[in-house]
């Protein structure tokens, strides 16, 4: 595919060949008629692994997971505006995670558009708001060069999803040309003068706190953060982040609290907040009479870069400038005893800590059970934890699929609420087909439990029967073991801590996908 005769190369071949030349290795696809030439182009491109997804939200969530692990974009293949819409929520999440991703959206042939056939829609209008970059390859000659441009644009300035529309005639016509590599945006460095100013400001503060995200959460970033911690700065991460290194031997920052009132209590007394790789913290939702901006009164804010900067470097430069040579201590491996009794999110976390192998990848869409499983794994084997960044639930299983494709030699563990899991249960089928090494844990409480909490917090009153019905996903109870099995993923249910611990040990030991329905209190 790399070097066929330019006269006979189709636009689809030029697009696919260009992306392969740039190092794209995976395509998460849900094709339709307008993408048939892309399908055959992928058929002839051994450098790209094509993964069929039965719903586009699986494809885009998987591309996000792939990018978080590989650091480079995967492509998706979406079918016109409707396909984009189906994949849109997980594209939103990927944008919030700053994950590079190349969404290739098939469109009608250019001369066909004016007839307004049934699947016609304003794709640029629909996809524009959540695309870092969007173009339509309306001529076959430009399919390769626009693919190269899309690849570069997915890296920034802020990395994220880009959209490349491919009209069917640009795909099928011959005359395609491979695109040449363009300069690829790199994460910026914070200027030395700003680092020095920051160090001076910090020296004058009584209770400085760093809030950080992005590359600050890599092993290198956390090492620098540990030095700053030893120098007297409190270190917090955002409540939600794309990926963080954690576990034994890794410096463990604190985590910003989810609920606004808790976060404000926790931050009270801070007189300087230094933002590294993130914006000022804000409440996830607004609530009557509660603050939106989570910066205490009288606390100054110092901006040391956002998702477009290399925050690991920022922290290192700051630690060097402050002569912070010692590092805060880090915890050694310390695994909990086997949990017993009732199965809870905490006991799930303990079992996770016990059985997670080194370098495991965790995809956390556990909603109200996520945090409680997170805490007990702090001293487990070193691993990477990935979170839902954009608040659109239904990301966990797709993200896990993509992570497994990016790192076939690492065990992936997916934590999903039952409500969250129902959005994109089709991911299980792709895991089965691909033999993805994912153990999925579904927290089964037959409830949108977080909303029961939120109903109270928003002051929306005591729920009557209709409201209770809207927040319960019981009646009928979903049988996750059957559901998973029907899609090709072997599954078991656990209702006690002992049974879950044994099931998890077995699932992790087995290669390939498994699911455990963890029945926890509602």
CA distance 244 to 389: 12
Nearer Cβ to its own copies (152/492): 492
Give 362's strand partners. 385, 413
Burial class (CB in 10 A: 0-12, 13-18, 19+), 40: middle
Q: Tell me if 280 sits within 8 A of 301, measured CB to CB.
A: yes
Nearer Cβ to its own copies (199/386): 386
- Helices 192-204, 311-321: crossing angle, 10 deg rounding: 60
Nearer Cβ to its own copies (82/220): 82
Give the shortest CB-73-to-its own copies separation in angstroms.
20
- Helices 345-355, 497-509: crossing angle, 10 deg rounding: 30
Nearer Cβ to its own copies (258/506): 258
What's the 3-state SS for 460-514? CCCCCHHHHHHHECCCCCCCHHHHHHHCCCCEEEECEHHHHHHHHHHHHHCCCCE
**CA atoms within 13 A of residue 12's CA, in its CB half-sphere:** 23
Give the shortest CB-192-to-its own copies separation in angstroms.
29
Give the shortest CB-181-to-its own copies separation in angstroms.
25
Give the shortest CB-469-to-its own copies separation in angstroms.
6
Nearer Cβ to its own copies (344/452): 452
Nearer Cβ to its own copies (44/262): 44
CA distance 314 to 499: 46
Question: How many Cβ atoms sit within 10 Å of the Cβ of residue 510?
Answer: 12
CA distance 88 to 103: 10
Nearer Cβ to its own copies (251/385): 385
CA distance 469 to 474: 9
Give the shortest CB-393-to-its own copies separation in angstroms.
9
**Neighbour-count burial for 61-73, b at 16+ CB within 10 Å, e otherwise:** bbbbbbbbbbebb
Give the shortest CB-101-to-its own copies separation in angstroms.
15
**Chain position carrying tokens 């959005």:** 423
What is 246-263 written as a DSSP string? ESTTS---EE--SSHHHH
Give the shortest CB-331-to-its own copies separation in angstroms.
29
- Secondary element (H or E) of residue 447: none
Nearer Cβ to its own copies (81/176): 81
Give the shortest CB-157-to-its own copies separation in angstroms.
16
Give the shortest CB-237-to-its own copies separation in angstroms.
14
Among 218, 237, 251, smallest CA distance to 326 is for 251
Nearer Cβ to its own copies (200/453): 453
Q: Where would I find the H helices in 71-167?
A: 80-97, 110-113, 123-127, 143-153
Give the shortest CB-428-to-its own copies separation in angstroms.
10
- Secondary element (H or E) of residue 362: strand 360-365
Among 343, 357, 358, smallest CA distance to 441 is for 343
Nearer Cβ to its own copies (191/391): 391
């Amino acid at each position: 595919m790399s070097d066929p005769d330019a006269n006979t190369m189709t636009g689809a071949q030029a697009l696919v060949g260009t992306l392969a030349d740039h190092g794209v290795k995976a395509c998460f696809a849900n094709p339709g008629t307008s993408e048939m030439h892309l399908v055959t182009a992928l058929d002839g491109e051994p450098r790209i692994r094509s993964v069929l997804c039965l719903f586009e939200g699986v494809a885009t969530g998987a591309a996000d997971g792939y990018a978080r692990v590989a650091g480079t974009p995967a492509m998706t293949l979406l079918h016109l505006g409707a396909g984009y819409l189906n994949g849109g929520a997980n594209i939103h999440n990927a944008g919030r995670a700053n994950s590079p991703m190349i969404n290739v959206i098939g469109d009608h042939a250019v001369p066909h558009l004016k007839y307004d056939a049934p699947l016609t829609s304003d794709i640029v209008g629909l996809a524009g708001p959540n695309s870092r970059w969007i173009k339509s390859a309306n001529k076959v000659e430009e399919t390769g060069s626009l693919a190269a441009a899309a690849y570069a644009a997915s890296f920034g300035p802020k990395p994220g999803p880009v959209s490349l529309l491919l009209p069917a005639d640009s795909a099928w016509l011959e005359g395609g040309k491979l695109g040449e590599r363009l300069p690829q945006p790199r994460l910026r460095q914070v200027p030395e003068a700003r680092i020095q100013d920051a160090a001076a400001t910090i020296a004058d503060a009584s209770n400085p706190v760093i809030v950080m995200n992005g590359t600050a959460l890599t092993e290198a970033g956390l090492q620098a953060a540990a030095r700053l911690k030893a120098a007297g700065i409190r270190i917090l991460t955002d409540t939600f982040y794309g990926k963080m290194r954690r576990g034994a031997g890794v410096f463990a920052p604190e985590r910003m609290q989810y609920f606004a009132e808790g976060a404000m209590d926790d931050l009270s007394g801070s007189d300087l907040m230094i933002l590294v790789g993130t914006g000022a913290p804000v409440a996830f939702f607004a609530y009557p009479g509660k603050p939106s901006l989570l910066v205490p009164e009288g606390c100054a804010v110092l901006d040391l870069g956002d998702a477009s900067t290399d925050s690991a470097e920022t922290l290192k430069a700051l630690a060097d400038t402050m002569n912070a040579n010692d590092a805060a201590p880090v915890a050694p491996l310390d695994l909990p005893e086997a949990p017993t009794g009732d199965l809870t999110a905490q006991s799930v976390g303990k079992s996770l800590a016990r059985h997670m192998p080194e370098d495991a990848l965790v995809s956390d869409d556990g909603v109200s059970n996520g945090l409680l499983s997170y805490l007990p794994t702090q001293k487990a084997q070193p691993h990477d934890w990935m979170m839902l960044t954009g608040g659109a639930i239904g990301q966990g299983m797709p993200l896990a699929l993509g992570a497994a494709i990016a790192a076939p030699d690492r065990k992936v563990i997916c934590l999903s609420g039952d409500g969250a899991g129902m959005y994109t249960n089709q991911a299980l089928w792709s895991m089965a087909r691909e033999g993805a090494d994912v153990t999925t844990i579904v927290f089964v409480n037959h409830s949108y439990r977080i909303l029961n909490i939120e109903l109270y917090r928003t002051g929306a009153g005591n729920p009557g029967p209709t409201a209770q019905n809207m927040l319960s996903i019981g009646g009928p109870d979903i049988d996750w073991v059957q559901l998973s099995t029907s899609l090709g993923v072997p599954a078991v249910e656990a209702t006690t801590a002992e049974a879950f611990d044994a099931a998890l040990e077995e699932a992790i030991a087995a290669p390939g996908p498994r699911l455990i329905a963890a029945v926890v209190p509602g």
